[in-house]
Amino acid sequence: MECPKCKRGTLVKAHEDIVVEGIKLAERLEVEKCNRCGEEVLTVGQASKLRAAAEEAGIWGHEIRLRRKVSKIGKKSALYIPVDVERMLGLTHGREVEIRIIGKRMVVEAEE
């Protein structure tokens, strides 16, 4: 399968330790990994297990700040979601999200 990040590599099976903020969330997890850029692709099930492990380790919910420029798709404005965030929240194509506007903030929440 083609890598969703670099579009040039091929995804191959690999066993990886998943470490976030110095805490090992999973050991030798079987993932699909790009043989070119090293991007790891998790299934929705794996993403939710990692989320549970992150919650248990007390590191889930830490604020992550990103800067992005507003892009255009046709006549509409668009913001690209980084692959890491997509993976962390299990934002697979077609999944619904809730968008809330609070003053100048826009919160995008993946529905359970």
For residue 83, the SS3 value is helix
Instruction: Show the CA angle centred on residue 12, arms to residues 7 and 15, nearest 5°.
Output: 125
Report residue 61 CA to chain centroid gap.
Answer: 14
Could you say which of 1, 6, 19, 106 contacts Zn ion (CB under 5 A)?
Answer: 6
Tell me the two tokens of residue 22. 């110095």
84-103 positions binding Zn ion, by CB under 5 A: none
CB of 32 to Zn ion, least distance (A): 11
CB of 5 or CB of 49, closer to Zn ion: 5
Cβ neighbours, 10 Å, residue 28: 10
Are 89 and 42 in contact by the 8 Å Cβ rule? The answer is: no
17-76 positions binding Zn ion, by CB under 5 A: 34, 36-37, 39
CB of 39 or CB of 86, closer to Zn ion: 39
4 binds Zn ion (CB under 5 A): no
CB of 88 to Zn ion, least distance (A): 18
Binding site residues, Zn ion, CB under 5 A = 3, 5-6, 9, 34, 36-37, 39
